[in-house]
Structures are given as C-alpha cells and as structure tokens.
Structure 1
Amino acid sequence: MEFAFNIGNIFHWNDRNLNKFPTDFIQYKYQIYQLYMKNNNIEEIPKWINCMDKLTHLYLDNNNLSVFPDELCQLINLEVLFAPKNIFKSITPMLSKLIRLTQLNLSYNEIKIIPREIFNMSSLWLLDLSHNMIERLPEIFYPDELYYGEIILNNNNLKCVPDNLTRLKNIEYISLHHNKLLYLPALVFRKEAKINVDHNPYLSYMIMNTQANCCGFLKHPLTEILPNIMLTCKSHDIVISPKIKQVLHVEGDAYCPTLKEFALRMVYVWKVSFQKNDIPISLNRQITSGPAALCMQCSRPLFNYFYICLSNDGSKIHLEALFFCSKVCHKIYTQLFEINNGISFRELKYCIK
C-alpha cells in the first residue's frame, strides 16, 4: 500500500471501499495529522487508534460505525471529529476527555440521548447533532464557561430546550428547525445570534431574535397533561414554560413583587456567594437553574413575578410572547416599539386555562 502525504501530513483515503482501518497506518503514526476516511464500509475503529497521537482532524463520514472505542478518547490533540451518516445510537461520555476538541459532527445517525458531559464540553465551538432522534437536551450548568458558536439540532424530536442556552456568550447560530418544540425559553438570546425555529408545528408563539416560519399549525395531542402553563388566545392554545409559576397580565392591578422575588433577583444579579445549606432548597434550585424569564425592556431577571403580553402584527399566524418586570417597562417598550416601527403595539387578550 502506497502512502502519499500532502503538505501538513494530511492523509486522504476516501471512497476506497475499505471495511477496516489499514494496519499500515501504525508505521506512519507520527506523520498523520489529518485523516480522511469518508465513504467507506468501515464498521469498527481499531483500538490501536490511540497510537496516532499527532492526529488533529478525523473524518469518518458515511461508514457503518456504531461505537467509539475508549482508545479514541485518548487522542488528546484531536480538534475535529466528524462522523455523520453512520449508525451511532448513543454517544460515549468518554469523548469529553478530548479537551482540545472544537468541532463535533454526528449528524444523520440514530442518537436519542446526549450525555451531559458532551453538551457541557468547554472546548466545543461547533456541535452538529442534526437529523437524529433526540427528544431532550441535558441542562447547561456553567454557560459562561462554554465556547459554543454554533449548535445544530434541527430535524430531531425536541419538545423544549434548556433555558441556559440563551446565556451562551459566543453563540452565533442555533438551528432548531423541524423539531416538535412546545415552547421556547422566556429569555432573550444575544442579539448577534441567529435562532432558527422554523417548521415546529406545535410552537404557537415566538420570542425576540428568533426566526419562526411555518409554526403553530398543529395542537400537540398530549398538551392537556403536560406540566406547563396553558394560555388561550384567539382560539389558540399556547404552552408556556413550566418554570413560570405566576403569570400576571398588564391590564390587571399592579402588584409589587414579593420580597422573595427581590431577593432572588439580587442574589442572581450580584452573584452573592452562599452555601447550599444557607437558604431553603427551593430557593437554591431557583437561583442555580436561573431565571424563568428576562424583562424584554430592562433585561432584569424574573423568577416568579412578571407580566406576560401576547401580540402579533396581523400578518403572522404565530404570536409573540413578551415578558416584563413591571408596567413601567411595559409602557416604555410599547412607546419605543411604536416610534421605531411606526405602528401601534397590538396587545391581545388571553386567559389562563
């Protein structure tokens, strides 16, 4: 077998009808930096893959792979791992040991669950798990420490996404189209980010900075028994995040937030340090999981006291959900909306089911 290396020791071995890794790779283990093995019939990654410790890029697209051996996770210099169009049904948490991995593409597989260790890898810039069978995402524990720029999750079976997805400081693009989303986080994504939630038939409203076409034209068959808050507006059933415990309408009497609400906001904003046993468990859970919403005007974190407004511009089927910490912020937002857009802010009546 003849090996021809390009500049930078990039080795191409695509479209060769291979059913296994050639063992000749071993003698070139210190020379291979990028390895392309696309469009073959490989069923197994050999355990001796760990001897190729110079490897930075590995492309395994369109093979018959179903598992990553633990030895692969010893390639500490690996930066790019692409293995779309295989038959993976799960992802080993051991991949999180690849501390320099910036791009992971496992699209077009049969994956149902994402390990929390993978979703919380601090090195990842790109995560592509589109065209799988994923129904839920793990929580993001420390969003400020994550590097994510793009997360591609379209064409799965997702019903919701974690709230902390909105707190990713570098995020530029999130693809959630063609899922089964019931609701979105009541939080504002960074304005530079593009959020695509097109073609979610059960998503009956949108939030700021999202692209939502062809949504809300079906009613989820299990909506009535889901642990969410249900609103009815113009004959539409609207599912709101279950984190929202109390919803007040701007046309009602204005009540002051409780001391509990003020305390939660203060601790969260100022990052007050405390021990887990210093406060009740319920409060600790609320603070660590983050706010249920952000005020659309002042971005104040909201935990269990805020106003929700529903509106549309008359030309869209879906509604827009807006959250405010007070009537003052609601009034400012309304005035600015009318000035910037030249049209009146049209608020819709709704009731809680």
Structure 2
Amino acid sequence: MAAAGPGTYLVDSWASASESSGSEDDEWMKESQSRVNLSNSNLSSDILDLHITSMMTMGEPCLFFQVTHLKLDNNLLRDIPEILGNLTSLTCLDLSNNSISQVGDSVINLTALNKLILRNNELSEEGLPKDMIALRNLKTLNLSGNRLTCVPPQLLDLAGLRNLFLGANQITEITPAINRLRRLRLLYLGGNQLETLPHEIGDLKQMHVLLLSDNKLRRLPESICSLRKLQCLQLHRNCLTTLPHGLIHVKSLAELSLRENPLVMRFIRDMEYQPASLLEIAGRVVKQNKIPYEDNDLPASLHSYLTCAHECVNPSCRGVYFDHRVEHVKFSDFCGKYKVPLLQYLCSPRCREQLPEYRDCEVEDELAEKSQRLKRVLLG
C-alpha cells in the first residue's frame, strides 16, 4: 500500500464524513447495471485490463459503457488501464488504496466525472495528467495520502471543484493562485508541512470547511477573516501563538479546533516592532493632521499609499499606521469559558503601554453574541 504521509494521518472527521457516508455506501450496494464494485479483488493493472476487455466483449458492450459508478479501491493497481477512458458515462471513480504512481491521459476522456478518489496512492505532481481542464464537471477530488509537495498547477484549471482533499502529503506551501478555485466549499490540507498560508486564501468566498490541522503554521493571514461562510476551521496541532482579531466577526463559524497549539499551552509575550520608514512617517503626519490634498497634488502611487492607512486599535489614540506596526495580544472570551489570544495592531509601542496588555479582557457584547453561535471550541 502507498505511503500515507506523516505518521498515520490520513483523514479527519470532516473528510471522513464527506467521503464515506452511510448513504453513499448503500448506493454502491444497490442492484444496478450502472454500478460496478471491484473493490478488494487483488486486481493488478494488467488483470483489470483483461477483466474489463472480457466484460466488454462477452457481455453487452452498450450496457457496460453506461456504467456510472466504478469502485476499484483496495487492489494492486500501479497505473490506470487506458481502456477505462472508454467508460465515458462514469460520474464516480474510486481508485483509493492502491499503489498508483501514474494517472494516464485516458482519464481526461471521462468528461462526465463528478467525483475522483485517488486517496492513499503513490502520486507525485508528475504522476497527474498535465492538462485536466476537460474534467469540467468534477466536483470532488481526493488526493490525500500521496506524495505531493505542492498543489499541482493543473488542478487550478478545475473551476467547478467544490471539495479538494490534499491531506497527508508533503506540501510545504500553497500557491497564491489557489484563489482561482472560486467555488471551493471544502479544502483539506491537514497533515502537511505548511508554515504559512497565502493572503489569497481569503478570496475563496464560498469556503465552508477549512481543515489545516497537523501542519507547522505559526500565524494565519488576516484575509482568512473574510471567509464569511466558514463553518468549520480546524487548526489543531500547529504552532499558532495568536489568531487574527477579525476572526470574532466570522458569524458563520460553528467549530474552531485549537488544541495542541502554543496559544493554548502558553500565551505569548513577545512583540515585533520595526522603525517606520520616512515614507510612513510622512504619511502618518498627513493623515493625523488631516492635511488637505487633491488627486493632482501627488503622484498616483502616493495617493494610493495614503488611502491604505489603518487606524490604531487603541481607543485613546488617533494614530494610524501603514506597514510598520506593533503587535498586541488581546485575551478574549470566545465561548463563555476559554480565553483566546487575538492579535491586534497598534501604531507605536507607546500605545501598548497605555493598555492592560496581558490581563484578561472583559467579554464584549459582540463576543457574548458570538458565544451563542460558536458550538465547539476544541482546546484540549
């Protein structure tokens, strides 16, 4: 069987529920000529080729070409016979738990395919077809438990993809071009080697479930707070010390898993601050003193720069910042019980001195309302 990535981390609760619900298993057991189950049959690639050929020649070929569901999981396959490309009515193909290292171009002929499961094989980026854009009907793709080191670029052409499973690989970074998958509702990246996420992750506005557990994440981009449909965010077993402050405004969030992160085991006390550049100092003076200017008074680049000023979160400060800021940790009650450190930004260290920096904050109205929505905060 193929290597499963780090440890035995293959699937997570959401992934399991999405991939193998009882109702779906029942569907495979239905008596139907359109469903063929060849699981656990000790089939090699050559034997499968002969098996399908005999079914096509000895039976009713026209009926075989109408097969919509084909299960070939838990066999001895090393590649996919080209003859499978003739089954153009296939909507679901399960090839999980084999030793497949190469997916031939014949799969591209399966243009009706809705679900393709290649979990727990031996696939690298080179093992996939270079062009997959013909699979325009593909909604679910499972490549968990393989040998991927990045998100294969050809996957970004699957514009209709709803569920993408890439867990238990060796992926070290996510390309900013992930935002091309605008219809993604579930993204499973657990059990990889991620240290950061791109800002563009916040462009996936349809995201409901984001699974990032068992990585090396040290922080999350603020853009993750713009995922206004996010219901489940799994972050356990990472290296997180804070969460973006805007996370409390994600009203849809119902499950947040944080256990085995430094933010749970010990609250951070370090801050980062870099001296402001001359450009920033000048920009702050203009904004703080409300110096009037017209569009024609400044180059377009400076005008654009001045419009991106951020207000200091200290309520007694009227300052602004652009690129250089002080990190401040605010402890907030997330669920009526747990104190969670949320990351805020101040314009200067002086603002930090004016705040009760490391004591527990009172529960704000918005957080009290949040505690009614958030069903599960998993800290231990």
Answer yes or no: same fold by TM over 0.5.
yes
Matches of 2:112 and 2:229 in 1, distance apart? 29
CA-atom RMSD in angstroms: 4.2
Alignment of 1:1-353 (within 5 A): 1-2=51-52, 9-28=68-87, 30-67=88-125, 68-119=128-179, 121-140=181-200, 143=203, 146-187=205-246, 188-193=248-253, 194-201=255-262, 203=263, 215-217=264-266, 237-239=268-270, 260=287, 277=300, 279-280=302-303, 282-283=305-306, 286=308, 310-311=330-331, 320-321=341-342, 334=362
CA distance in 2, matches of 1:323, 1:78: 40
- Cα distance 1:185–1:240, how it changes in 2: closer, same or farther (>3 A)? farther
Between Structure 1 and Structure 2, the one with more helix by share is 2
- Cα deviation for residue 125 of structure 1 reads 0.4
Q: What residue identity is the alignment partner of 2:259?
A: D
Match of 1:212 in 2: none
- Residue 158 of structure 1 aligns to which amino acid in structure 2? L
Distance 1:127-1:312 versus aligned 2 partners, 3 A rule:
closer
- Which has the higher Rg, Structure 1 or Structure 2? 2
Identical columns (%):
21
Please, which runs of 5 or more residues in structure 2 have no aligned partner?
A: 1-50, 56-62, 277-283, 291-297, 355-360, 370-380
Contact 2:243–2:343 (8 Å) recurs in 1:
no
Name the CA shift for 1:294/1:78 in 2 (closer, same or farther; >3 Å). Answer: farther
Larger RCO of the pair (alpha carbons < 8 Å, separation 6+): 2
Q: Which amino acid aligns with 1:41?
A: S
Residue equivalent to 2:34: none
Aligned residues of 2:228 and 2:251 also touching (Cα < 8 A): no
TM-score by length of 1: 0.63
Residues 102-132 of structure 1 show CA distances to partners (whole Å, capped at 9, x for unaligned) of: 0000100111011111255211000001000
Offset from partner CA, 1:273-318 (integer Å, 9 cap, x none): xx9926446445x46xxx588799xxxxx867999674578x9996
> Which amino acid letter does the alignment assign opposite residue 104 of structure 2?
P
- Matched residue, 2:29: none
CA contact (8 A) 2:202 2:226 kept: no
**TM-score, normalised by the number of residues in structure 2:** 0.59
Give the match's secondary structure for 2:269. strand
Offset, 1:336: 6.0
**CA contact under 8 A between 1:153 and 1:174: conserved in structure 2?**
yes
How many angstroms does 1:82 deviate by? Answer: 0.3
Do the aligned residues in 1 keep the contact of 2:242 with 2:343 (CA within 8 Å)? Answer: no
